[in-house]
Amino acid sequence: MHHMKSKRVALLGVFGKQNLGNECTLQSQIKYLKNAPLDIRYCIICPEPEIVSCQYKAAAFPLSLADDDASFGSAESISTLKRIARIGRKIYRNHIADFKNSFRTLKNIEMLMIVGTGVLESPDVSNPRWPFTLLKWCLAAKMRNTRISFVSIGSGPVENYFSKVFMRIMFALSDYVSYRDRISKTYMRNIEIDTHRHPVFPDLAHDIYETQREQKGHALEYIGFGIMDYRGPRSSNLQSDSIYREYLNKNIVFIQWLIERGYRIKIIYGDARYDSDVRDDLRRLIVRRELPENSIDYSSASTVPQLVNELAELDIVISPRFHNLILSLNQLKPVISLSYHGKHSSLLEKFGLSRLTINLDDWVVDQLQNKFMEVESNFGSYRERILETTSRLKLLLDRQNGYLNALLCQASAAI
């Protein structure tokens, strides 16, 4: 009897950095690999391989060997010859050795999967270094005869010239590309990438954790309020500190309004590394404004299962974090999106709820209060709509998994 050879897959992404949205995307793709009708062995390529290997009990390899320190020292501190030698070592480490690492890691790998997330979104692509890192992996994959797939990725907008060039090349090298929404596909088409063979499928996180179908038997009482380190549409904004303070003050006013209406609040987040500082700043403001602390709880989630357990207790979720919204929708929680990117409105448009999106750049508290009262009035019908849509999105992801299975079989035959 012929024994089917194992398929070997490498999952690449920004994992292990405490961004719970990225982690739930990775977990969804691991779930697919484990349930696929193929014998698949996988490894993970990421910035924090030690953390990821321990967490997922899988082989993990560094995404890059490049040195994050871009400074070469001042002319006063080192001689010209030493300066040239240092630059030469940095070029070798950041490019040549980095490529050799990619080529070595992909030995015997049949498919390189760049896994979901906003892997090509701003501000990551505003610096061409990140697209160039991905391009090196794609070039190494082609030299290894490894298939390349970009699976349900988020992208754009892209303004940097070199980022555009690198992205055009890596998409031309790819065997499969899908986007998580139409706006990502539009962004890529706008930088002259041929997208006519690139399908749109849901975000991978729609296929993780079971949907809670039971309607709660009590009145609405527990609201999830999401936060993030928001400092304006551009992180380099000179007024970023004042924008951040104004953002926190608006949060306080809205939270106080919810408490006055008899609600209990849970402050939630999606990035344990960045948002925990925002949580602490907000908590200090709450104490200073003398809001009743017994009406406010604070998330301590550092893993996706912990976050999902917290979301399960809530009735309505308001958040600027994209995957907080998806994980809440998976559990039939009506949501209001505080949007800083077109992906938010694209997400809620799938559910027929795009009007529950508020632009984070210019929102006012009255606007959010009105949206909240709309959700209160339509809670039951919104839950039914969410249930219908989440079931459909899971079927679409099953279809994409079928395409990936077929591509993996082809990859096995080609090697």
142 falls in which pLDDT band (50, 70, 90)? very high
CA angle 202, 207, 213 (to 5 degrees): 115
> Could you give the 3-state DSSP secondary structure of residue 277?
helix
Name the β-bridge partners of 258: none
Q: Domain 7-208+393-414 adopts which CATH fold?
A: Rossmann fold (3.40.50)
Mean pLDDT of the region 175-200: 97
Domains 7-208+393-414 and 222-391 share a fold: yes
318: pLDDT strictly greater than 70:
yes
Q: Examine the pLDDT at 244 and tell me if it is beyond 60.
A: yes
Residue 71's pLDDT band, with cuts at 50, 70 and 90, is: very low
pLDDT band at 123 (very low <50, low <70, confident <90, very high): confident
Is the pLDDT assigned to residue 18 strictly greater than 50? yes
pLDDT at 211: 65
- Residues 259, 396: Cα–Cα separation, whole Å: 40
In this prediction, residue 61 has a pLDDT band, given cuts at 50, 70 and 90, of very high
Q: Are 303 and 23 in contact (CB under 8 A)?
A: yes
- Which of 250, 196, 203 lies closest to 390 in space, CA to CA? 203
* Domain regions of the chain by residue span: 7-208+393-414, 222-391
Q: What is the mean pLDDT of residues 405-411?
A: 90
- Residue 59 predicted with pLDDT over 90: yes
Confidence of residue 73 (pLDDT cuts 50, 70, 90): very low
Residue with tokens 């929102």: 363
pLDDT digits 0-9 by tens, 356-384:
999 999 999 999 999 999 999 999 999 99
Give CA torsion, residues 174, 178, 181, 183, to 10 deg. Answer: 30
Q: Is the pLDDT of residue 332 over 60?
A: yes
Question: Nearest CA to 33 among 339, 404, 414, 409?
Answer: 404
Identity of the highest mean pLDDT range in 2-11, 57-66, 141-150: 141-150
Q: Domain 222-391, CATH 1.10.760.10 — does that match?
A: no
